Amino acid sequence: MRRGIVSSLFITFIAAAGIAQPGLAGSIAYDGFGPSFPIYANSGSGFAGAWTQGGFNASASGYVPRERSLCYERLAIGDGSVSGGAFDRINGAIRDLAQPLAPNGTVYLSFLVQPRGDLLEGAFSGFFGLTINGSVGQDLFIGKPGGGAVSQYVLEHRGGFGQVSTGAATVVGRTSLLVAKVEFMAGNDIVTLYVDPKPNRLESAATAIKSDIDLGNASRIGIYSTGAFTIDEIRIGTTYADVVPERKGNAGGDSAGCLQEPN
């Protein structure tokens, strides 16, 4: 019953919230999940509306806000984050971008993710992550999968096709920074994934490259899961530096007050 109430609130309350966020010159979209529940679902910038329940075969959206952000050394962070528990069915929340991502050009997306609870608990071995929803029926999934390399971060088509593993382990209680570089092409796009890069540095060596997906304009992102996790600091920008900004002192988040372990 409580899950249903949370889902209803998540979808229904969409009043705008003026949440402070790290300013980025080349930013396309940002959501740091400011702790203003139930209206946090419409925070951030660069979106056409609030988060709503959705995603392929998603029948619930039992996500809850947390007052503290996830910790990541030297990364600028806001306040708040969102968690999902281990579910026996697919949960999903989607949000439309104010403008579709360019079909030709390069876009970067980053987010923080922390596995919680039992790593394999939940339907389909407890997957969780973020999707970029394409305009031609192809969705990119970034995160911990439900098949194949179930204990590593991967790139794959939503549903598991074309999985490319990073070799980077998903560890309960450990926050990771995932950065995806999407090079939109006339045909298949090229997606490069970096796991745990250093903020405000040049692009490091790629940990995974996927080149068999055509996202088209890609006008939507989604949170998609059955496993227990916390997600935070979703950024989309035109350069690598836009999505991996370095924290200056305590500006943009205090690591002493952020979530360092699942609780």
Convert the pLDDT of each residue in 183-195 to its tens digit. 999 889 999 999 9
* Residues 34, 37, 42: CA angle, nearest 5 degrees: 65
Q: For the residues of 117-128, what is the DSSP string, one character each?
A: S-TT-SHHHH-E
> Nearest-CA neighbor of 78 among 121, 40, 108, 46?
40
Domains and CATH numbers, the chain: 2-246 (2.60.120.560)
More confident call, 252 vs 15: 252
**Mean predicted lDDT score pLDDT of the chain:** 84
Choice between 57 and 250, residue whose per-residue pLDDT is larger: 57
Task: Report the pLDDT averaged over residues 233-245.
Answer: 94
Question: 246: which residues sit within 8 A by CB, 6+ positions away?
Answer: 74, 75, 76, 199, 200
* pLDDT over 50 at 24, yes or no: no
Say what the pLDDT of residue 257 is: 52
Q: What is the pLDDT of residues 60-79, one digit of tens each?
A: 998 998 888 998 998 988 88
Count the residues in the chain.
263
* Residue, of 26 and 81, whose pLDDT is higher: 81
Non-local (6+) Cβ contacts of 78 within 8 A are 19, 20, 21, 22, 32, 33, 34, 69, 233, 252, 253
For 38-50, the pLDDT digits (tens) are 555 788 899 999 9
pLDDT (tens digit, 9 = 90+) per residue, 113-133?
999 999 999 999 999 999 999
